[in-house]
Amino acid sequence: MGRDVTLYPKKATRDDLKKYLEGLGFEKCGHFWDWPKGTLNYSWFDYEDFKSIDGVSADIYPVSGDELSITGNELALHVRNTYSASWYDVKMFNDVLKGARKLFGGTIKGDYGTNRYAPLWDDESTPIGRGISAIYSHVKKEISVVKFALPETSMKQLQPINGKIDDFIKFTQSLDPSRVIYNGLVPFAVSMFEYFFSQAFQVLIKYDPVALKKRGDHKQKLDFETLLEVDRKESTIENIIARNYTFQNLNQLNKAYKDWLDIDVKNILYKKKRIGSSVTFLENRISDIIQYRHGIVHHFAIDRSLTKEGYIHILEAIEKGIDEFISFVERKYKFKVDEHC
């Protein structure tokens, strides 16, 4: 569901509308909707300071039928974004319509009535809050997708005798090909953990006062190719700093956060949590999962005892580790993830 509003300009050519949108930073794009022949589709997204969540789409399309009678112009400008859009997205949504109507005249029709715009709200979000929330939302969605898509067992299992699983039944269960798939997904689970903490680190060192002070004193040799990457906007200062660490190793990850932010991630994760039927320290469980991944990737060490339920427990450990960190940064930087997701 989203906001849909259309401007029917009094006087505007296709070229006028095209130049107007491109002047605002809109770029041509494709579209899944079945637009009339001759439609030009555009999109806008503000990457600076994580201002956009959904962005804005704008479409210049030829009108017909009743629409043609609104102003007599053969073209209209349709503007849209979703209800999950940020304050900045909705402001741009309104600005596109207001600016176009001022230049070209005409009538606005849509979700908010005639010649009315989308209501804005008081926005107290911060770059850290928006950035961390975007990363967290992305990772949580991907974990949910994996859980949903996990295959069931691919062979009929022998039933336990008198409720007991003997060695023969365990052996037959270990032959289930699905268990190889579960093992193959362990590196993916670790990559989600690595991605989250690497990206969160880059967000924090860009805005955190402690990190900004340390950046002023930081010295690091860079090759010319790295400088070109920054010049071409293919890399950032934060990304270059992050390259000095590996986030698939808890000790290295912790060192990065302590070096730049005075944050002890291992201490944050040193909490007992129930995962499946057992209660364990998150730090230890996540370290075991990382080692498990190392065995699979580097030694092809397939654990035939890993079931679907066991793999879900791995994902739960990753989720709970991330959630503990989120709780910490929410308190430290005074924001709530739910306000941005």
The rounded distance, in Å, linking the Cα atoms of 11 and 133 is 42
Determine the pLDDT at residue 164: 56
Determine the pLDDT at residue 175: 59
51 and 91 share one domain: yes
157 and 193 share one domain: yes
Domain-ending residue, one of 110, 137, 160:
110
Predicted structure pTM score: 0.85
The rounded distance, in Å, linking the Cα atoms of 193 and 248 is 8
Q: Is residue 59 part of a domain?
A: yes
Determine the pLDDT at residue 145: 95
68 and 140 share one domain: no
219 and 334 share one domain: yes
Determine the pLDDT at residue 146: 94
Render each residue's pLDDT in the chain as its tens digit; 341 residues. 789 999 999 999 999 999 999 999 999 998 888 899 999 999 999 999 999 999 999 999 999 999 999 999 999 999 999 998 999 999 999 999 999 999 999 999 999 999 999 999 999 999 999 999 999 999 999 999 999 999 888 666 656 666 555 554 455 555 577 888 889 999 999 999 999 999 999 999 999 999 999 988 888 888 888 888 888 888 899 999 999 999 989 999 999 999 999 999 999 999 999 998 889 999 999 999 999 888 888 888 888 788 899 999 999 999 999 999 999 999 999 999 865 55
CATH code assigned at 104: 3.30.310
Domain enclosing residue 105, as ranges: 2-110
Q: Is residue 116 part of a domain?
A: no
296 and 230 share one domain: yes
Determine the pLDDT at residue 219: 87
Q: Strands (DSSP E) along 83-188, which ranges? A: 107-110
Determine the pLDDT at residue 222: 85
The rounded distance, in Å, linking the Cα atoms of 295 and 289 is 10
135 and 57 share one domain: no
Q: Is residue 286 part of a domain?
A: yes
Q: Is residue 34 part of a domain?
A: yes
Residue with tokens 């909707």: 33
Q: Which two tokens stand for residue 15?
A: 């070229």
Determine the pLDDT at residue 93: 98
For the chain, what is the domain count?
A: 2
34 and 80 share one domain: yes
271 and 331 share one domain: yes
The rounded distance, in Å, linking the Cα atoms of 306 and 311 is 7
Domain-ending residue, one of 56, 82, 110:
110
Determine the pLDDT at residue 156: 63
97 and 227 share one domain: no
Q: Is residue 157 part of a domain?
A: yes
Q: Which two tokens stand for residue 90?
A: 């909705």
Q: Is residue 174 part of a domain?
A: yes
Q: Is residue 186 part of a domain?
A: yes
81 and 221 share one domain: no
8 and 93 share one domain: yes
Q: Is residue 118 part of a domain?
A: no
83 burial (CB, 10 Å; 0-12 / 13-18 / 19+) is: exposed
17 and 75 share one domain: yes
Determine the pLDDT at residue 276: 85
